[in-house]
């Protein structure tokens, strides 16, 4: 079993479209959508949910009004301005969106009127798709600890792969270089970085290459929409090559990406446009690369 994560330094480079196409081409694969802050792989693969679980992350304070004396100690010790007072000033309450779950107010309350239950941060799912089983999740709006949720999604995908004796775990990772990306990247066999020939794409490619090198993850580079700026595409490939990345290939700007999404299909399933054939070649090169290492 090999784990491949598809990531990008910035959003909108075509990462999810490439992941969905790889899923359509791979045999005996398990999928994981680790972009839990803005999941969208389900829009293409249309999963049928088989298992749904609540994701609990950290704690959140809650004041029992019936026991609160309104002394204000919790308000004084809270550094996050998460404690407010009722209009009559007789009791206090917690501003949910401001609470960081540190627990200081719980310890400070002289009458023990503050509960500290686990916070529900979202949901995670196990689903069936036409391209194989998929682990995915949805973070509650404003929810935190998405890195922990990403790790959970990957763990579920790996367990599924072991149960089904799958050959591949294909991970649609989040963009950027933060904790969710690190959680999706560490321990994988190959990171496929999808970039685009723009100034922001070039800047963010350098950062995500730094991240992959830090964790000693082999990298394959895909330059999407290379024909928007062929000269910059060459410079991106040169930098990646000098830093030890494998140049998997280029994809042209192709309206078939958009039309395929409208029909709920991957580009290779849609089967029209130059990009579909190029992605097939990409997958072939990546598969040969990872199987020979």
Task: Kindly report which listed range (62-71, 143-152, 172-181) carries the lowest average pLDDT score.
Answer: 143-152
Task: Give CB contacts under 8 A, 24+ apart, made by 9-12.
Answer: 9/175, 9/176, 9/177, 9/193, 9/195, 9/201, 9/203, 9/204, 9/205, 9/206, 9/207, 9/208, 10/175, 10/176, 10/200, 10/201, 10/204, 11/38, 11/175, 11/176, 12/196
What are the residues facing 219 on neighbouring strands?
191
Task: Provide the sign of the torsion angle of the four alpha carbons 22, 27, 32, 33, taken in this order.
Answer: positive
The answer to whether domain 2-57+122-291 and domain 61-116 are alike in fold is no
Distance CA 98, CA 96 (A): 5
pLDDT in tens, 130-170: 999 999 999 887 777 678 999 999 999 999 999 999 999 99
> Which of the two residues, 129 and 97, has the higher pLDDT score?
129
pLDDT in tens, 77-99: 999 999 999 999 899 999 988 99
Q: What is the mean pLDDT of residues 204-233?
A: 96
CATH class of the 2-57+122-291 domain in this structure: alpha beta
Q: Which distant-in-sequence residues (6+ apart) come within 8 Å of 142 by Cβ?
A: 97
Residue 15: pLDDT over 90: yes
Residue 292: pLDDT over 90: no
- Do the beta carbons of residue 110 and residue 73 sit within 8 Å? yes
Task: Kindly report which listed range (12-16, 116-120, 141-145, 287-291) carries the lowest average pLDDT score.
Answer: 141-145
Q: How many CB atoms lie within 10 A of CB 260?
A: 25
- May I ask the CATH architecture of the domain 61-116? 2-Layer Sandwich (3.30)
Q: What is the mean pLDDT of residues 28-57?
A: 94
pLDDT in tens, 240-279: 999 999 999 999 999 999 999 999 999 999 998 899 999 9
Task: Provide the sign of the torsion angle of the four alpha carbons 65, 70, 72, 73, taken in this order.
Answer: negative
DSSP state of 281: H
Distance CA 208, CA 116 (A): 38
Of all residues in the chain, the percent with pLDDT exceeding 90 is: 86
What residue segments make up the domains of the chain, in order of their start? 2-57+122-291, 61-116
What are the residues facing 79 on neighbouring strands?
none
Q: What is the pLDDT of residue 141?
A: 79
- Cα separation values, 14 from 100, 263, 271, 274, Å: 34, 17, 17, 15
Q: What is the pLDDT of residue 107?
A: 96
> Which of the two residues, 204 and 11, has the higher pLDDT score?
204
Taking all residues of the chain, what is their mean pLDDT, rounded to a whole number?
94
Q: What is the mean pLDDT of residues 206-215?
A: 95
Residue 283: pLDDT over 80: yes
């Amino acid at each position: 079993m090999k784990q491949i994560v598809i990531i990008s330094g910035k959003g909108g480079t075509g990462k999810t479209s490439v992941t969905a196409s790889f899923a359509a081409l791979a045999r005996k694969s398990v999928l994981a959508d680790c972009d839990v802050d803005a999941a969208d792989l389900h829009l293409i693969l249309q999963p049928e949910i088989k298992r749904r679980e609540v994701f609990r992350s950290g704690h959140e304070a809650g004041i029992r009004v019936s026991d609160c004396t309104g002394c204000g100690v919790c308000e004084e010790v809270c550094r996050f301005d998460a404690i407010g007072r009722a209009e009559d000033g007789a009791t206090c309450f917690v501003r949910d969106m401001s609470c960081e779950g540190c627990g200081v107010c719980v310890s400070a309350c002289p009458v023990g009127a503050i509960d500290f239950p686990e916070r529900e941060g979202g949901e995670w799912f196990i689903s069936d798709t036409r391209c194989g089983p998929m682990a995915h999740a949805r973070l509650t709006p404003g929810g935190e600890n998405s890195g922990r949720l990403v790790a959970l999604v990957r763990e579920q995908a790996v367990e599924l792969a072991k149960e089904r004796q799958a050959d591949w775990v294909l991970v649609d990772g989040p963009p950027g270089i933060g904790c969710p990306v690190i959680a999706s990247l560490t321990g994988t066999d190959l990171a496929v970085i999808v970039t685009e020939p723009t100034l922001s794409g070039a800047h963010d490619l350098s950062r995500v290459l730094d991240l992959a090198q830090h964790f000693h993850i082999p990298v394959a580079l895909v330059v999407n929409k290379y024909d928007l700026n062929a000269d910059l595409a060459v410079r991106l490939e040169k930098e990646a090559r000098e830093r030890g990345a494998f140049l998997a290939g280029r994809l042209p700007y192709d309206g078939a990406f958009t039309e395929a999404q409208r029909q709920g299909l991957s580009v290779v399933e849609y089967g029209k446009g130059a990009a579909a054939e190029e992605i097939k070649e990409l997958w072939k090169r990546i598969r040969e690369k990872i199987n020979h290492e």
